Amino acid sequence: MTHAVRTTCPYCGVGCGVLAAPDGTLKGDPAHPANRGRLCVKGAALGETLSEAGRLLHPTVAGARASWDAALDLVAARFRATIAEHGPDSVAFYVSGQCLTEDYYVANKLMKGFIGSGNIDTNSRLCMASSVAGHSRAFGADVVPGVYEDLEEADLVVLVGSNLAWCHPVLHGRLQAARAARGTQLVVIDPRGTASADGAELHLPLLPGSDVALFAGLLVHLDEAGALDAAWIAAHAEGFEAALAAARETAPNLFRVAALTGLALEEIRRFYALFAATERSVTVYSQGVNQSAAGTDKVNAILNCHLATGRIGRPGMGPFSVTGQPNAMGGREVGGLANQLAAHMRFDMPGALDRLRRFWGAPNLATRPGLKAVELFEAVREGRVKALWIMATNPADSLPRAGRVREALAACPFVVVSDCWETDTTRLAHVVLPAAAWGEKGGTVTNSERRISRQRPFRAPPGEARPDWWMLAELGRRLGWAEAFAWDGPAAIFREHAALSGFENGGERVFDISAMAGLDEAGYEAMQPFRWPLPAGATAEGGRLFAQGGFPTPDGRARFVATPFRGLAVAPDAEYPLLLNTGRLRDQWHTMTRTGQVPRLAQHSPVPAAGFAPGDAARLGLAAGGLVRLASPHGETVLRVAIEPGQRPGEVFVPMHWTDDFTSSGPVDRLVGAATDPVSGQPELKATPVRAEPLPVR
């Protein structure tokens, strides 16, 4: 390939390196440590998503073309007036795990440091907020201890609520290669029999929402089987006895675990014995754990078992949260969540606010967390948030109660949306700003193993499209903070971000890339993928964390967390007897703005379909290919019927991707309710009671 640049895939959190040329030819980057040259089917089709057809090319105000100056002047005037009349918490940003770290950094600095509100949240709230909260409770900070090599060095990999084969395909390929080479055993814990369960030694189709009970039972078993690492616990952790007592309350014996999880006794015994006997164990978890009203407790129930065995931070051992989006992790590093500050600091860390105020010269630093995604849009609906900027995401389709979100946006006095393509959300905006897309702008992203990689431009943006960081900096300048938002490009933003990193928490430097603060333009351009922490002066990248303790808590010790079992937020009943589970397809991405352009990607699942267990379909009179109406208290949709042998009876699975652009029945998230995890604020996207009825095919 001539003139190829090294960049990073914009889809999932594996963060594969891509060699891309201006003509759209591309291939996997053999030098990138995440993928070593491999790409999945979505990544390999990226070159077919570069068409300018349908792109937003010019700013518009009330649907009419406007100049950048006119549009940004209006945005600044409306934000200024709203803040002056109603205070800083009357405005908000809702951003995205698609944003680059530099975009995120500027958005967070502007909202939290200068406007003075914590009201910046991200669609990553829907993706991994429960893991963030779980890590913070157990480790003292949101730090992922594992690295991808752990999956290749383990003797046992446990996938919990993770369809790794479809959602993180290249990482799944690395796991499969390791299984072939060293016989790694695989246990899949998921109500559905997904592609990830094919060939697994054990698949545990547990009842939705019962993960805490299963892992509470595992903690009890580890204790009774003498499989604890008492010396490690004594040296490096606190709270074991209380966590074990809570686990015993939930799961005093296997019969109770079986009753709560719906699993057979023999299945539970096999899993517990395998985990107890296998030191090199990695537990990978994803949205099936996180997207739950008990998501944070599920995370901590898993972490408890790894802390209890000292299986953390050593080769082939550890709990490992894999992120859904390409830069969900980068957003966490710069405070993209409403409850975080920049550089992995939190509002409640001693000295953090003072450090940030001085570093930024921030005149109006927010001193308390802002609204999390679901409550943010409820505040819009109630009129408490009156000016909102949505960036690179489509909440009119992707948030729970999507119909209600649309009503909120329609009623909001001022909505700005920056995006690359028209979406159901841009159609509700007063001002639409055309954003530069993947391949048209530069910056950095961080993958699931804390590896920071460059995204590099290899073609010019179409029309007047501009990077998101530039739009936000222009707003900052127009609001009167020209000096603080005077960067000339993403390298300058990255330098500032790096210089802010390395804050000590409990004697540990939580997130440290300060060695990068002196990078010049050439250095930024030449940046190779590296894993943090990168201590000052170090040349070697960071690896596993916490094998010898050193947790970023005040005393350097990890925390066991007692996780009492709670059932589903809303249980099925006679009126809504089925449970709706939403998730990804193998070949589509989010609301399909990009993958929907590639016909061959649609071949895998060409029509919107709801997957039923064969017995449920027969009982309900549903035939494969026929139509079914799904209804919940929040909305309804009509889909084709698919009969899926791997589906658990009593449940229906619907992909999250379809929008008004692809089906007249609308997005499935209009059916999902408002229940969220009380700690993380993450919505329960995988267990909504619904009813299903066949419709005649005309």
- Where does this chain bind ligand SF4 (CB under 6 A)? 9, 11-12, 14-16, 35, 39-40, 42-43, 168-170
Residue with Cβ nearer ligand SF4 (16 or 345): 16
Residue with Cβ nearer ligand SF4 (11 or 275): 11
- How far apart CA 282 and CA 303 sit, in angstroms, is 11
Q: How far is the CB of 286 from ligand SF4 (least distance, A)?
A: 13
- How far apart CA 343 and CA 526 sit, in angstroms, is 23
Which pair of structure tokens corresponds to residue 330? Answer: 């980068």
Q: How far is the CB of 5 from ligand SF4 (least distance, A)?
A: 16
Residue with Cβ nearer ligand SF4 (256 or 451): 451
Residue with Cβ nearer ligand SF4 (36 or 427): 36
Rg (CA), the chain: 24
- How far apart CA 31 and CA 17 sit, in angstroms, is 8
Three-state SS string over 350-414 comes to CCHHHHHHHHHCCCCCCCCCCCCHHHHHHHHHCCCCCEEEEECCCHHHHCCCHHHHHHHHHHCCE
Beta bridge partners of 34: none
Contacts of 686 (CB under 8 A, 6+ apart): 161, 208, 287, 288, 291, 292, 581, 582, 583
Q: What share of the chain is helix, strand, coil (3-state, %, to 5)?
A: 35, 20, 45
Q: How far is the CB of 601 from ligand SF4 (least distance, A)?
A: 11
Residue with Cβ nearer ligand SF4 (9 or 74): 9
Q: How far is the CB of 241 from ligand SF4 (least distance, A)?
A: 41
Provide the 3-class DSSP secondary structure of residue 597. helix
Residue with Cβ nearer ligand SF4 (15 or 217): 15
Residue with Cβ nearer ligand SF4 (5 or 643): 5
Q: How far is the CB of 169 from ligand SF4 (least distance, A)?
A: 5
- How far apart CA 204 and CA 227 sit, in angstroms, is 22
- How far apart CA 100 and CA 333 sit, in angstroms, is 11
Q: How far is the CB of 589 from ligand SF4 (least distance, A)?
A: 7
Residue with Cβ nearer ligand SF4 (46 or 111): 46
First CA to last CA distance, the chain: 51
Residue with Cβ nearer ligand SF4 (603 or 664): 603
Residue with Cβ nearer ligand SF4 (236 or 456): 456
Q: How far is the CB of 16 from ligand SF4 (least distance, A)?
A: 3
- How far apart CA 418 and CA 464 sit, in angstroms, is 12
Q: How far is the CB of 46 from ligand SF4 (least distance, A)?
A: 8
Q: How far is the CB of 514 from ligand SF4 (least distance, A)?
A: 27
Residue with Cβ nearer ligand SF4 (37 or 678): 37
- The secondary structure of 424-444 as a DSSP string is TTGGG-SEEEEBP-TTSS-EE
Residue with Cβ nearer ligand SF4 (326 or 490): 326
Answer yes or no: are the C-beta atoms of 384 and 412 closer than 8 Å.
Answer: no
Q: Where are the beta strands (DSSP E) in 586-682?
A: 609-612, 627-632, 635-643, 651-655
Residue with Cβ nearer ligand SF4 (35 or 680): 35
- The secondary structure of 273-302 as a DSSP string is HHHHH-SSEEEEE-HHHHSSTTHHHHHHHH
Q: How far is the CB of 173 from ligand SF4 (least distance, A)?
A: 8
Residue with Cβ nearer ligand SF4 (137 or 594): 594
Q: Which residue is nearest to ligand SF4 (CB)?
A: 43
- How far apart CA 610 and CA 624 sit, in angstroms, is 10
Q: How far is the CB of 246 from ligand SF4 (least distance, A)?
A: 37
Q: How far is the CB of 588 from ligand SF4 (least distance, A)?
A: 11
- How far apart CA 678 and CA 130 sit, in angstroms, is 10
Residue with Cβ nearer ligand SF4 (156 or 164): 164
Q: How far is the CB of 17 from ligand SF4 (least distance, A)?
A: 9
Q: How far is the CB of 171 from ligand SF4 (least distance, A)?
A: 7
* CB-count burial class (<10 Å; 0-12, 13-18, 19+) for 50: buried
- How far apart CA 190 and CA 528 sit, in angstroms, is 36
Longest dimension (CA), the chain: 70
Which pair of structure tokens corresponds to residue 473? Answer: 């900096």
Residue type, 445: V
The torsion region of residue 296 among left (phi > 0), alpha (psi -120 to 50) and beta comes to alpha
Q: How far is the CB of 27 from ligand SF4 (least distance, A)?
A: 11
Long-range contacts of the stretch 68-72 (C-beta < 8 A, 24+): 68/464, 68/466, 68/474, 71/431, 71/433, 72/471, 72/474, 72/475, 72/478
Among candidate residues 516, 492, 511, the one with its CA nearest the CA of residue 501: 511
